[in-house]
Structure 1
Amino acid sequence: MVQIKEIKELLPSFLKDSKNLLVSVLDLEGEVIHSNSKFREFFSLGSLARPFFFELFNEYQREEIEPLISELIGRPNDMVRYSQSHFNSLLSWEFSVMKNTEGDFLGILGVGSVKDESEYLSNELGYKVSVDSDIYFQMNNDWEIQFANTHAELFFGTSATGFINKKIWQVFPDPKIYEYALHFKKAKETDAITVIDGFLSESGRWYKIIIHPRICWMDIYFKDVSEVQLLGNELGRLDLTLDSILNNSDQSYILMSQDLRIMRFNDLASEQLRKYAGKDLKEGQKFLQFLLPGLEEKVLANLEEIIGGKKLSFEQSIYLVDSGEERFFRHDFYPITNLNKKVIGFVYSNKDIHDSYSAFAKMTEQNDMLKEILYSQSTVLRSPLSSILGLLELVDKKQLDRENQKYLSYLKVLAEDLDQIIRKNTKTVNESDSF
C-alpha cells in the first residue's frame, strides 16, 4: 500500500490525469498495480481491477513483450519501446524502471500513446472508415472471427456469441464469401490494404469492403455505400439523358459553374467555336476565354447581371474570323438554380436564325411591295376614278340617243362597282395586322 502511495505521489499530474496517454505501473510479476483512467477505459477495466499486463496482449505479442520487460529490470537505466496492435488501434509503448527518491525499485512504468487505425485507414483511402459507424470484425490467421462490433452483429443476424471463434466461411450471411475469400488471402499474402466493391443479393445492399491485414489478424470493414451507389447510377442515367438532349438539339449549349468555368458542352457548341473562333472548347476553362467573335462587348457589358442570375437574350451576328462571313444568331444566358433557388451555375445557348431571319426579311420586302401596290390602288387609282364618276354625272342624257343612254348606264354601274372594290380593299388593309 505504501508503494502505491509513493507511485501516485511520484507520477506527474500530466501522466496521471492525461486524456490521451495510457499510463500503467507493473510489479515484477507483471501485475498492473496502478493505472490512470485512460488506461482502464481503453482496456475496458473496472476501477479496482488489477490485471496482469501481458494478458492485454495477444499470444504472438506476449511472446515478444515479456522478455523485453524482464531484460529491462536488469537494466534499470534503459528504456524499452514496443508497438502493440489492439483491435483497431496501434499503441506505442515506452517502458522504464520507476524508482523512489532513495533509488529503490517501485515498478515498471509504461506510457502508451494510441493511434486509431481506422483514422490511419481513412487518411490512406481518402474517405472515412469508422469502427463506430461501419460493419467491423477481426479474423485471426485461421480465419476465425475474434471480435465484432454491434453493426457486425446486425449484419450477421445474431449476437457475437453466435459467430465468435467460428471461421468466416461458416457464418457469413451471403454465398459471395467464397469470392471475397480470394481477396482476403491475397491481402494477407501481400500485406497490403485492399478495397473491393461488393453487392450482397441477400440484403440488396452495396458495400465497399476494406481489408486491412495486421501482424496476427485481419481487420475487415464493410462500409454501406448503397445510397451513394444508387445515386451514382441515377446520376449516370441523368448524364446519358442530358447528353442525349444536348447533342440532339438544334442549339449549341455550354454549361458553366458559378465561377464561369466550363462544365459541359454539346457537339454543336464545340464545332461552332472551332469554326468561328478557331478554338477547342475545354472543360474546366474560363468561359470568357471562349466567347464567339463579336460578343465580347455585349457579354462584358452585361456580365454583372448574368452573374446576378438575370436572364439575358439578344440577337447578334457572328462573323467568321477568316472570311468575314456573317451569320445571324439568337443568344441566351440564364441561371441554373438548386432547390433553394440559389444560383449554382449558368447556361449559354445560341441558335442560328440566319435562314429564318433572311426569309423574314424577304417576306417583309414582299409585304412592303404589296403595301405599295395597295396604296396605289387605294390612292392613285382612286383619284382618276373619282374624276370619271364626277364626269359621268355631268353628262346630259337628253342629248344622247336611247342606245348611248343604255351604254352610259352600264359604264356608270361598272365605275361604281370598281369604286366599291377599291374601298373594300382599303378597309381590309387598314384593319389588318399583316401589314
Structure 2
Amino acid sequence: MISTDSIESLIPEFLMDSNHFFLLVSDIEGKVVKVNRGFERINSNPVDFQFSDFLSPNSEKEFSYSLELMLGSPKIRRHLMLDHPALRNEGFSQIWWEFSVVTTQEMDVSGIIGIGVGMPFLEQEMPWNNLVDVLGFGEIVLDQEFKVLSWDDRILEWFDPKAENWEGKEISKTLFFKDLNQFNHLLSQISSGDKPMCFLINTDYPGKSSFAALVTLSPKGFHLFLMPKAIPFYSKPEKPLIQNQMLALFTGSVFILNDAGKLIQQNESAKNLGRIWKGRAYSEGFALSFPNQANRFSKLLRAIEDAKKGQTEELEIKLLMPNQEFAFWNVTIKPIFSDIKIVEGVLIQVVDTTPIKSQLVVLNRENDRLRDLALSPSHILRGPLSSMMGILELMDFKQLDSENQKLFAYLKPLTKELDQVIRQHAKKMSTFN
C-alpha cells in the first residue's frame, strides 16, 4: 500500500522513460490513468481504456479477481504473471507484474499502481535461479531425468517433501504431481529447447490451490518454479437467502450477505450505489469494502458484525461528494434467520435521503432569511427611537409653554411604550425556529 496525495511525485523520471519496465497507474475501476514509455509498446494510447482490455481472457479474469482482493484489503500486494497479446510480435507476451494499492493521506483508496518486467528481460539480464528472490517463486531443482534434487523454504510452506519422500524421486511420481499426465510431456519439451516454459498446474490435491509453474534449464538439469494462485474463497450458493421476486419489492438499495459477511445478492439499485460508495459495482462473493472515505462506514461495518449476532440497527451515512455537497443515506441492518432461528445472513437496506435532506437545508435557509427579515425592523427602529428618547431627556420641560408641556407629557410615555413593543417583538423573533 502506498499513501500519497500525488502519485506523480513518487514515480522517478527514469522509470517513466524506461523501455525495460512497464508502469501502470489506474483508478479503482481498473481504468488506465498513467503509463510509462515501456507500456506504450502494449498500446500507444491506453489512457481511459480498461487495463483488462490489453490482457488475454484468462489474464483478464485473474486481474479482475486480484483487483477485487486488493480493494478489499489495501495492505496486500499482488504478484501476477499476465499475458498481453499485443506483445507477441516482439517474441513474448508475458509480463511479471507487482500491484499495490494507492491511498490518500486520509487512507481513502485512490487507485492502483503496477510495475512489470517482461520475461525476456529477466531471462537475459539475470540467472533464472535468482527468480526466487526477484519474483517470489518457490523452487524445486530436478536432475536431467526429472528427479527431485532439492527444494527451497518456500516449497516447505506449501508441501511436506520429506514426509512424502521427494528426494531422488521422479517429480511426476510424487503425490502432488502424479495425476498430471501432461507433466512429463511438458518437461520433455523444455529439454529439447533453451527457452523457459510457463504453464498452469490444476490439481485435486487436498488443501492445495492451483499453481503457476515455470521450467528452465540448469547446468544439472532443470529448475521448476512454482507460485500458488489464489482461489476465490467463496462459492455462490445454489439457493439465495431471499427470492428475487421479493428482493425487487424492497425500497432503495438492498445487499444480502451470507453468515460469513460475503455479498451473495443485490438489486440493481445496490449496484448503482456501489459505484458511488466504491467507484464500481460490488462483486458477489466478496465482502463489502469502502475505499472512499472509509471512516464514514465504520459504524456500518460494526453493525454488520452485530447483525451476525442477531441484532438489528439503523444508522445514517453522510458522504462528501465530488461536487463538494454531502449525500445522505438511512441504513437498516437486519439479521436473516433460518427456520430454526439461526442467523444465516444479513440484510442491508439503504435509502437515499439526500433529496429530503436537501429540501430541509433549503427550508432552513429560507427560515433563516425570514428570521432576518423579521428581526430587521427591530434593529432598524431601535436606533432612531433611542436617539429620540435621548433628545426628549435633554429637553427642558420648564421652558415649554403650557400647551407644549401638555403635548410633551404625552410624547415621552409613547416613546417608552414603542420601545417596549419593539423589545417584545425582538424577543419573540429570537425564539423563532
Give the structure, 1 or 2, with the largest relative contact order (CA under 8 Å, sep 6 or more): 2
Give the greater-gyration-radius structure (CA): 1
Question: What's the TM-score once normalised by structure 1's chain length?
Answer: 0.34
Question: What's the TM-score once normalised by structure 2's chain length?
Answer: 0.35
More helix by share: 1
